[in-house]
Amino acid sequence: MAAATCPLVLLTGFLGSGKSTLLARLIRDPGFADTAVIVNEFGAVGLDHALVSAGQEDTAVLLDSGCICCTLTSSLEETLEDLYYRRERGEIPAFARVVVETTGLADPGPIANALAGGPFVARFFHLAAIVTTVDSVHGADQLAAFDEARTQVAMADRLIVTKGDVATPGQVAAVAAALDRLAPHADRHAAVSGAIAPAVVLGTGTLTSRTAAGAMAPPACPPGCDHPDHGHGHDHAGADHVAQHGFVSQVLRLDGPVTWAGYAAWVRGLQTTLGDRLLRAKGVLAFDDGAVYAVQGVRLLFDPPRRLDWTPDPGLIGTLVVIARDADPADLAATRIWFDAAAV
C-alpha cells in the first residue's frame, strides 16, 4: 500500500483580513506542533527575532511550540520539495502537515492546481482544506467590491471571521449575510481577539453535516433586498442549488456505492460541462470495493480519492458539493447523468 501523503492546508483571506495575526498566534501554540508553516515573510508574523537570536539566515525556524516556520523560497513546489528533503535528511524535525499562507489577492485555485499538477508534490502531499479569513469590519464591502475576495470565500472549506470584537453589530450582521449567500457550504468559526483553536485550521476539508446542509440552505437577504440574483420570486424549499453573485453551489446525492469507472466518467463529464467555470467539487462516496473515500477537485484537477480510516456520518456518504461560477444550475444538475451512471 502506498504511503499516506502529507495533508496541506491553504490559508487564504483578503488584504487586511487578519491572516498574519492569526498565524502569529497559531505558530506559537503547542497545538501547532508537528506543523510546517510556509509564510510570505517572517516579519509579518513577528519571527525576525528568531532568526537573529539563532544567528542564522535560514529560511526555516523551529519554534518552541514544535512548529516549523519557513518562508517561501521561490515557487511553492520548490519550497515543499526543499522541506520534504530536509525532513528526510534529518535537518529539520519531522512534520505531519503543512499550512501555506497565501497573499491577500491570491486566487486559491491556481495554487491548488499547482500542487495537484506537480509530479513531486502530488506524490507526497495532498490538499486537505482551504481556509479563508474574513474581516468583520470591512468584509461585506470587500466581498461586494472585489472578485478576489468573493473567490476566496466561495472556494473555502472553512471560514474564520475575524475582528468581530471591534466590529459594530451592523457590520457583523452584514458580513454574516454575505457569507450565507456566497459560501453556504463552508463551516464558519469566529476568531476571538485574533485567536482560534488550532484544530479549526488543521482539520480536513471533508464534508460535515453543516457543509451539506448549508449548501442546500436558501440565501439570506437583508430586508428590502430585490436583487435579481438573490433568489426572489421562487420557492427555495428543497432546492438543490444556491446562486449568488455568479457563484453556484450544487448538491448531488447518491444512495448506493459507485464504481471507479463510473466516478471517472462523472469527473470527465463535470470537467467537460463546466470547464474553467468549475471552482471546487468535494464529497464523501462509498465505492464498490466496500470502502468510503473523500473525493475532491479544484478547478479542472482532481486528487485521487482518499480512503477514509474513520466512518463519517451515514447521511454524508454519497453527497457531493459542486461550486462553480457563471454556471447555469441546470448544467450542474445535468452532471447527475454521470453521477447516476456511477451507481452500482
The yes or no reply on domain 210-218+239-341 and CATH 3.30.1220.10 is yes
With beta carbons less than 8 A apart as the criterion, state whether 331 and 252 touch: no
User: Which residues, listed in sequence order, are joined to residue 101 by a DSSP beta bridge?
Assistant: 11
Interatomic CA distance for residues 300 and 278, integer angstroms: 7
3-state class of 95 per DSSP?
coil
Nearest partner of 341 among 258, 267, 252, judged by Cα? 258
> pLDDT tens digits, residue range 279-332?
889 899 999 999 999 998 888 888 889 898 877 788 889 888 888 888 887 778
104 DSSP assignment: T
> Do residues 13 and 132 make contact, with C-beta atoms less than 8 angstroms apart?
yes
Could you say which residues of the chain have pLDDT below 50?
Answer: 1-2, 47-58, 209-239
- 6-205 to CATH, choices 3.40.50.300, 3.30.530.80, 1.10.3720.10, 3.50.50.60: 3.40.50.300
Q: Match 470584537 to its residue by C-alpha cell.
A: 165
Between CA 271 and CA 278 the distance in angstroms is 7
- Say what the pLDDT of residue 44 is: 56
Q: What are the residue ranges spanned by the domains of the chain?
A: 6-205, 210-218+239-341
* pTM, rounded to two decimals: 0.76
Q: Would you say how long the chain is, in residues?
A: 344
Q: What is the pLDDT of residue 50?
A: 43
Closest listed residue to residue 312, CA positions, set 204, 226, 150, 157: 204
Distance CA 88, CA 6 (A): 13
Return left, alpha or beta for 246; rule: phi > 0 is left, psi -120 to 50 is alpha, else beta: left
Per-residue confidence (pLDDT) for residue 62, from 0 to 100: 65
Cα-Cα end-to-end distance for the chain: 25
- Taking the C-alpha atoms of residue 337 and residue 286, their distance in angstroms, rounded to an integer, is 18
Assess contact for 198 and 223: CB atoms under 8 A: no
